[in-house]
Structure 1
C-alpha cells in the first residue's frame, strides 16, 4: 500500500480524534462512545463505497481504510503497554491501598466469576465446546472504565469511587488476558473440556513471572534514568522503552504475562521515580505519558471500531439469542460480586463499605472496549481455531461491546443522575451558599478599592455597584436561610476545607522545593486521608486520620524485626529517615494553617467552629512535636541535620527567585542567567542528598557510649553487658506501669519514652534510665513510662543495679540529678543504696 495514502489516512484519524472530544462534550456522551460510533461509520462507509456502483472516486481511500495493517498484535504490543503503563504512573498507589480489597475483588474475583458464568451459560445454550465458551467469557470479562471515570470526574463524584474503578481497570485487563491466554491455548490444542483446576492453577505462575520481570526491568530503567538525571529527554526516552521491553521480555522470553509485567514496571517506577529523579523531569515525564496515552487510547478505540462491520459479517438470527445469554450472564456475574460478595466482605470487616449507589454505578459502568475487540480479533486471526468458533467469538464479543457502549454508555449519565450521584448533598449546598456570600463580600471590598485607585466615573461605578449589591443581598439571604446547619456539620465542612487548604499548601511547598519530591506523595496521601476522614466521619474521622499520619505502621514493626533478628538494617534506616523528613514536612505545613482558619473559616462558619478547629490544629501540632521529640531523643543530631538541609533548600529557592527577577528586569543577560542556574542546579542536587542515619546497636559498644558507665573498666563493662537483658517496646505501648512491684531498672539503648509522675511529664532518650528512684526508695512505682518511638531497653535487675551504683560515680551523679529533677532529696535516696 502506498505510504502516502496510509499517512493521509492516519493523519485524518487524528483529525477525527480531535473533533470527537468537543463533540462528546456537546452531546454529553462518553468520549469512547463517540469514537466507537465514528469508527463504525467510517468502516461501514468504506465497505459501502467499495461495493456500490455509485462512484469509484473514493475507492482508493476506502481500500486504504480497510487495508490498514490492523491486527491483534498491533493492539496488544503497541497500544496496550502504553495505556497500562500510563495508568500506573498516574495512580496514587498508597491511597489505593486503603481500598485494595474491593479493587482486587472487582479486578480478579469478578473477572473469574464472569468468565465462568458466561462460559457455562454459553455451554448450556449452544453447541460450542466448554473451552471455547470459557474463552468467550474471558474475552468479554475485561472492562474499559474510561467512559465511566470521565463522567464521574465531570460530575465531581467522590474520589474514592473513581479510584476503585481505575484500580479495577488496571488489574482486570491483566487477569482477563491471562485467562484468555490459558483458554486460547486449550482451544488451539483441541482440548474440548479442560480441567478447570489445572487451568486456574497456571494463573499464579503467569502473574508471578510477569511481576518479577516487570520489577527487574523497572529497577534497571530507574538506575539508568538516575545516571541520566542531567538529561531530561534521555530519561523520558528510557521511560518510553520500559513498558515495551517489559511486555515483550515477559511474553516472548519468560513465557509469563506481559500485561502483568507492564503493570509491575509502572508501579515500580511510580514508587521509586519521584525520589530518584529531578522533580521537574518527573512532572514532564508524566505529561508526555498523558499525551501518549490519550493518542493510544483514542487510536485503539477508533481502529478497533473500524473492524466492527467486518466482525459482524455473517451474523445469524440465532446469534442474537446467544448474545442475550452473554449479556445476562455477564451482568449477573458482576451483580453477584457487587451486591453479594462485597457486602459480605464488609460484614466480615475485610473490606471497607462501598455504598449501594456507587455499586449500582459500577455495575452499569462496566463498559467493554478495545481490549475485548483486540482479543476477539486475535481469535479470528488464528489458523488453529475452528471456523465456527472464530465466527461466534467475533460476533458475540463485538455485539456485547456494542451493547455496553451504545446502551450502557449512552444511558450511564442518566443512571448516575437517577442515583443522585450528580447532586450536592444538603451540607455541600449550604456550604456553597456560605462561600458565595463571603466571597462576594470580599469582592465588593476589593472593587471599592479599585474604583478609588483608578478614579473611575461616578455614574458607572454607581450603576455597577447597584447591580452587584443586589446579587450580594441575594447571596447573603441564601446564606442566612442555611443557618439551620448543625454545628456538627459546620465542623465537618470546616475540617474538609482545612484539609483541602493543607493539600494546596503542600503542593505549593513541593513546587518551591521546600518539601522534597520524596515526601510529596506521602504528605499528599495524608492530606487526602484527612479530607475523606472528615467527609466520612466528621471530627472523629479527621482525628483518626491525623493520628494515622504520625503513627508507626506495621511496616516499621517488620523492619525492626528484620533489623533485630537478621541484622538487615537498610529497610529500618530508610523508613526512619523518611519518618524524620515526613514529620518535619508536616510541621512546616501545619504552621501555616492557623491563618487560614482565622482569615477564611471564621468568616464562613463563625467563631465557635474556628476556635474548635484551632484547638484540633494545636493537638495535631502537639502530636507531630511529640513524634519528632521521640526521634530526636532516639537519634540525637539527625533532626538538626535535616533542618539544616531544609534551610539550604530554602536558601536555594530564594536565590533562584532573585536570579529570575534580575533576568526579567534586564539586569543580567541570558548567558549569565544560564550559568547561574547551572551552578544552582549542581548545588541543589547536592542539597537533595539526605545525611546518613546510623541505627546500629551493638550492646557492648553501646554500653561504652553510655555516660552513666563512663568510669567503669573493660572487665566490669563486659560483665554488665552479659547481665543486661534486652526488651523491645513499640511506639505507644507502656514500658513501665504504675503501682507495680519493683524489679528492674531500664536503660534506653535506642528510642524514647515519656515518663509521667505526680502530674509532671518529661521525656528521656538514648543513654538515659528510669525506674531507679522506685528501686532505691523501695516503694511501688508511681511513674508510668510510655514509648513514643520504637524503643530498645536494656534491663538490669535490682541486685546488680545496687552493686553497680556503688562502683560508678557517674551513675550516682545521674541518680542524684534525677532525684533533684523530681524534687526529692538525693542524699536520702543514695543513702538507701548503701549496703
Structure 2
C-alpha cells in the first residue's frame, strides 16, 4: 500500500516500454506503451491496493488529457506544412484509404462477427450496435503518435514521411469532423441514446424510493434545526407530488416482463458480488490471483445472464463450480507423470475461491437482496432469493466435498483467513484513533510496521499435501492390513496412486479391463442392474475383468473425491503369485 511508489512505477513503465522497444528492440515504442497500458489495466485492479488504484486512475486521467492535448498541438504544428504539399495524387490516395478502412471495418463487423456467433465463439450483436461500431471507430491520439514517430524519424525518406503524415492526419481529421459530429444522429436512428423500458423502470423505482426517503428526512431535519413546520411542509408536498408522478409513470409503463425483472435483479446482485470480491482483496482476505479468478467467474456469470437469461445464468454458475481445463490438465500430469505440485496448486485455488464465494452469497441473502428487492419488487425478490439459495447450496456442497477430503487444510485455511481479517480490523481501529488525534503519526506508523510484519506471515499460502503417497495409502486399505511393513512397501511399488473428482467416470461398461482399483478413501458407485451399488474406503473393484479377461460389466463413477490405488494387469498377476493367500 504505497500509492506514490505504485504511481511512479506505472509512469516509469510507460517510459521504459517506449525506450526499450524503440531503441533496443527496434519495434514501435508507441505500441509498446499501449501494450503496457493494456496489461496494467487488465491486472492492475487486483495487483494494486484499492486506495492506490483510485489515485492512480486520477493521475493517469490527468496525464492522458495533457498527452492528448499535446499530440494535437504537435500535429497542428507539423501537419499544415505537409498539407501545403498535397496534390491530386494525395487526395485520390486519401479516398482510397478511406474506402479501404471502412471496407475492412465492415468486413469485420458484418462478416466476421456473425461467423463467430454461428460457431458459438461470440454472442449476437444487434444491427444498431454494429452500425455504431462501424461508424464510431474513431482514430485519434495513438494514430497521430505513430504518424509523428515516422515524421520525426531521420532514417525514413522524406517522401515516405510526407505520404504517411498527410494520409494519417487527413484520416484522423475526417473521423473527428465527420464521424464524431454525426455519431449522435446514428445513435438516435437506432434509439441507442435513450434508456430502454427496463432501464426507465429501474430509474423510476429508484427515484420513487429516494424521493420518499428525502421527504421523510426533510421533516426530521426541519425539526432538528427548529425550522417552521409550514416551511418544511412546502418541501414535503413538493416531494409527495414528484412521488405521485413517478408512480403514475410506473403504472403506465408496459413491456417489462417478470423474466426481465429477474434479469435486472440478478445483474444488480452480480455487481454487488463483484464489488464484494474487490473488497475482499483490498482487505487482504484473498490474494491478487484468487481475486482475478473470482472476478473472471462473476463476469462470466453476468455475461451468461446478459445473453441467455436465467437459463444461461444457471449454466454459467454450474460452469464456475466445475473443474476447468487448468484443473483437468493438472490431473493429467498427475496421472500420466505422477506430478502433484500443479494439482495441489489447483486444489488450493479451489479452496480459496469457494471459501470467498460462500460468505459473499450469504451476505447477499442477509442484506444485499433486501436493497435490490426495493427496486425489483417483492415477487421478484422471492424468486431471486430462491436462485441465490440454490447457488449457495451447490457452492456449499462443493466446498464440503473439499473439506471432507482435506479437513486439516480447510481448518488451516480458515485460521489464516480469520487471522488476516483480525489484522485488518486492528489496523482499522488504529487508523480511527489516528484520525481522531488520539495517537500521533509516529505511533501510528510504528503500529503499522508491526501489523505489516504479522500480515506478511499470515499471507504465506499454506501448502496442501494431497496425501497421495502410495505406501501410506496401501496401509489404509483393510485388504492389506494383515501384511507387515516390508510386504506393504513391496506392494506399494506395484500400485499407482490416483485422485479422481466427484462425478468422474472411472470405468466404462464394455471396455477391456487393464487394471483394478483399491479405494483408499472416498465413495464410488457401480452401475449394476437393477440397483447401483456403492463402494467405500477399503473396498476394490475391476478385478473380475482381469481374472476372467472379460469386458467391464458396469460403469463406475466417483461420488466424491477418491484416493485410488491402481493395479495394472501385469502387476496384478505378480501380486497374486507373491501373495497366494490373496486369491481367497
Aligned-partner SS, 1:794:
strand
Equivalent residues in 2 for 1:720-739 (5 A)?
720-721=491-492, 724=495, 729=500, 732-735=503-506
The 1:373/1:785 distance shift into structure 2, 3 A limit, reads closer
Report the TM-score, using the length of structure 1 for normalisation: 0.59
Equivalent residues in 2 for 1:162-561 (5 A)?
233-255=4-26, 258=29, 262=33, 280-281=51-52, 284-285=55-56, 287-381=58-152, 388-451=159-222, 456-482=227-253, 485-561=256-332
Corresponding residue of 1:699: 470
The 1:699/1:394 distance shift into structure 2, 3 A limit, reads same
Aligned-partner SS, 2:305:
helix
User: Structure 1: how far apart are the matches of 2:150 and 2:568?
Assistant: 76
Aligned-partner SS, 1:637:
helix
Equivalent residues in 2 for 1:572-721 (5 A)?
572-596=343-367, 599-695=370-466, 697-704=468-475, 712-721=483-492
Q: CA deviation at 1:314?
A: 1.8
Q: CA deviation at 1:521?
A: 3.0
Aligned-partner SS, 2:407:
coil
The 1:788/1:743 distance shift into structure 2, 3 A limit, reads same
User: Structure 2: how far apart are the matches of 1:260 and 1:558?
Assistant: 34
Aligned-partner SS, 2:315:
helix
Q: CA deviation at 1:318?
A: 4.6
Q: What RMSD in Å do the two structures reach over aligned CA positions?
A: 4.3
Q: Which runs of 5+ in 2 are unaligned?
A: 545-551
Q: CA deviation at 1:257?
A: 5.6
Equivalent residues in 2 for 1:63-74 (5 A)?
none
Q: CA deviation at 1:488?
A: 1.6
Q: CA deviation at 1:617?
A: 0.8
Aligned 8 A contact 2:523 2:560 in 1? yes
Q: CA deviation at 1:366?
A: 1.9
If asked which structure has higher relative contact order (CA below 8 Å, sep 6+), I would say 1
1:101-135 CA distance string (max 9 Å, x none): xxxxxxxxxxxxxxxxxxxxxxxxxxxxxxxxxxx
Aligned-partner SS, 2:202:
helix
User: Structure 1: how far apart are the matches of 2:64 and 2:115?
Assistant: 37
Aligned-partner SS, 1:572:
helix
Moved more, 325-334 or 366-375: 366-375
1:773-799 CA distance string (max 9 Å, x none): 999xxxx9999744556x653246999
User: Structure 2: how far apart are the matches of 1:269 and 1:706?
Assistant: 52
The 1:657/1:724 distance shift into structure 2, 3 A limit, reads same
Q: Which runs of 5+ in 1 are unaligned?
A: 1-228, 808-832
Aligned-partner SS, 1:592:
helix
Aligned 8 A contact 1:379 1:385 in 2? yes
Q: CA deviation at 1:331?
A: 0.9
User: Structure 2: how far apart are the matches of 1:383 and 1:233?
Assistant: 38
User: Structure 1: how far apart are the matches of 2:41 and 2:496?
Assistant: 43
Aligned 8 A contact 1:739 1:782 in 2? yes
Aligned 8 A contact 1:311 1:398 in 2? no
Equivalent residues in 2 for 1:82-93 (5 A)?
none
Aligned 8 A contact 1:743 1:797 in 2? yes
Q: CA deviation at 1:655?
A: 1.5
The 1:247/1:451 distance shift into structure 2, 3 A limit, reads closer
Aligned 8 A contact 2:334 2:498 in 1? no
Aligned-partner SS, 1:591:
helix
The 1:737/1:597 distance shift into structure 2, 3 A limit, reads farther
1:515-543 CA distance string (max 9 Å, x none): 44443333233333333322322211221
User: Structure 2: how far apart are the matches of 1:465 and 1:834?
Assistant: 91
The 1:268/1:531 distance shift into structure 2, 3 A limit, reads closer
The 1:236/1:601 distance shift into structure 2, 3 A limit, reads closer
Aligned 8 A contact 1:663 1:670 in 2? yes
Aligned 8 A contact 1:747 1:794 in 2? yes
1:551-572 CA distance string (max 9 Å, x none): 2211222233334444555443
